[in-house]
Each structure stands twice: as C-alpha cells, then as structure tokens.
C-alpha cells in the first residue's frame, strides 16, 4: 500500500508529496514540528502535543495553519489512511511560502503544514530496551531557545552522528559547567545509588518533553524519590541507572555513557518499570 501524506490541504501519495522551493522551512528552518507515538491503534497524548505545538507557534509568531481541531482531525486521518497501528505521526508547520527575505512575509502568506505517518516495529524497540543503549557526550552548542520545538536541528544531527560514529545510539549534550542538558532527540535521566530519579528542570536548557511529563506522573504515582536538578557526567558515570525518554523511544535504558558502564551494565529496574507502566498513564485517542 502506498503511503499517504497531507500537504497544505491535500492528501497525496507520499512519493509525490512536496513543498515549494521557497517554503521558509526549507530556506530558513523557519518552522516547528511535533512527533506523536501511535500505539495499538491510538495516538498517544495528542492534546499535550498540540498544546506544545501551539506554544511553539506562538513563540515564533506563526499562526495556526488551520484550527486546532482541524489539525487533530488531519493527524487521525493520516494515521488511518496509512493503516498505522504502531508507529509515529509527524506534523510540521512553517511560516509559509514567500520570496527569500529574512523579514517575515506579508500577512496574506499562509503557514504551510505537512503531516506524515509511518509504522515502526514494537518488537525491535522492546529488544533494544531489553539490551539498553550507549550514549556519547557532546558539547552543548545550540541556541538558547531549545524549549521551542523548531525544525532547526542541524546541531542535533551532528551530535547524533558523532554518537553513531563512536558506537552510541544517542548523544547527551553537556553544558559549559559540565552538566548534562538533554539528548540529541531525548530527555536525559539517571537513578542515583540512593534510588532517586533525577532529571534537569525544564525551565531552561531543554525541551519540555511530553514523554518526560508522563514519566513524571508515573514517578509521583509510584511514590519514587524524585529530584529535578542538573546532574553531571561524573554523577551519571556513578549512577545506578540511566535512561532517556521521547515519543520515538518511550523510556529507553542507557547502559553505557562515553564507554563507561552504568550500574551493572544492564537495564535497571526503575527504567524497566517506567517503560512497562508508560502507556497506562497516557491519553490514548483511538484512530
């Protein structure tokens, strides 16, 4: 079956989907995006993702390309038309198509929207989680507004490629003070030897992850000790466990950082339990 994409008001074959050469997302990375997990025929936490999309648009002074309810409808339609039961749905909104000029385009220029969906392999993800992943640190070099989910991801691409070339699956950014900020496409966590779950505050320096928010809900419900504070690489090396969170990986245990074994080198019980409980705490919308 051919994949289907939504592009500016039309459902088209994925192979034929295209945007204009002067779309500002292409020329300036002048746009934002969201990725939602699709799990067992449900879009996971769509309201929270749309809330964050709205915030990102507002911060960049880009209008919604259509009403929020219409965007929600398109998300469901694209997942349905692609027959995705387990996978991801991606939405991107840019400032629109206009002649190349750093100034905002005229008010009559409408934002552009693209939505795609694809299937993933839950069994492969589960196998990866059972083994854990390796992380490679990378100097923080992004602009300060990483709280906005923009499509300007070149620093993330370079960090993750460096991780791949050094045997890692993910990168961890480290700021000038030696503290981990977040992953190239994930939020970063550790579990101390005392059993405290630690992650950096989302008020600055990181994206306020939707998966992160759900995990915080589970931590509270389970009565786990939680510390919202920065942690250093050295503290991570000495941690009992480490893991990352994102819509693309849910809760993924980390077993090595910069080649150093974390804990006993196997996925820890806290990360494993959080992964098991994750979908019981999410807002599921049937497709």
- d(CA 252, CA 131) in angstroms, rounded, equals 10
Q: For residue 105, give the nearest of 113, 114, 96 by alpha carbon.
A: 96
SS3 53: helix
The alpha carbon of residue 40 and the mean position of all alpha carbons in its chain are separated, in whole angstroms, by 19
- Match 């759900």 to its residue by tokens: 214
- d(CA 206, CA 31) in angstroms, rounded, equals 18
Q: What one-character-per-residue DSSP string does 212-242 give? A: HHHHHHHHHHHT--EEES--BHHHHHT-SEE
Contacts of 214 (CB under 8 A, 6+ apart): 45, 278, 281, 282
SS3 272: helix
| Helix locations, 32-140, DSSP H | 46-60, 68-81, 122-131
Q: Is 149 a catalytic residue?
A: yes
Contacts of 274 (CB under 8 A, 6+ apart): 215, 218, 219, 243, 251
What tokens does 190 get? 């550790």
In 69-177, DSSP assigns E strands to 87-94, 112-119, 133-139, 170-174
Which of the residues 99, 149, 160, 169 is marked catalytic? Answer: 149
- d(CA 209, CA 52) in angstroms, rounded, equals 9
Q: Catalogue the active-site residues.
A: 149
């Amino acid at each position: 079956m051919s994949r289907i994409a939504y592009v500016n008001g039309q459902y088209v074959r994925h192979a034929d989907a295209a945007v204009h050469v002067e779309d500002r997302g292409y020329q300036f990375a002048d746009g934002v995006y969201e990725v939602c997990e699709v799990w067992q025929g449900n879009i996971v936490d769509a309201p929270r993702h749309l809330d964050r999309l709205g915030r990102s648009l507002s911060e960049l002074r880009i209008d919604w390309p259509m009403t929020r309810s219409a965007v929600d409808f398109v998300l469901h339609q694209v997942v349905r038309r692609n027959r995705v039961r387990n996978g991801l749905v991606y939405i991107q909104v840019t400032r629109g198509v206009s002649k190349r000029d750093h100034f905002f385009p005229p008010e009559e220029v409408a934002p552009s929207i693209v939505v795609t969906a694809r299937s993933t392999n839950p069994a492969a993800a589960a196998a990866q989680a059972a083994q854990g992943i390796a992380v490679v640190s990378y100097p923080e070099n992004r602009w300060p507004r990483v709280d906005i989910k923009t499509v300007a991801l070149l620093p993330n691409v370079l960090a993750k490629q460096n991780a791949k070339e050094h045997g890692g699956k993910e990168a961890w950014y480290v700021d000038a003070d030696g503290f981990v900020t977040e992953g190239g496409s994930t939020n970063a966590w550790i579990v101390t030897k005392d059993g405290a779950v630690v992650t950096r505050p989302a008020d600055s320096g990181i994206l306020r992850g939707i998966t992160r928010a759900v995990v915080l809900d589970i931590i509270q419900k389970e009565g786990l000790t939680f510390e919202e504070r920065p942690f250093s690489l050295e503290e991570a090396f000495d941690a009992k466990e480490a893991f990352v969170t994102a819509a693309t990986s849910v809760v993924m245990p980390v077993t090595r950082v910069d080649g150093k074994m974390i804990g006993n080198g196997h996925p820890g019980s806290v990360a494993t339990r959080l992964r098991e409980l994750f979908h019981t705490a999410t807002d599921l919308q049937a497709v």
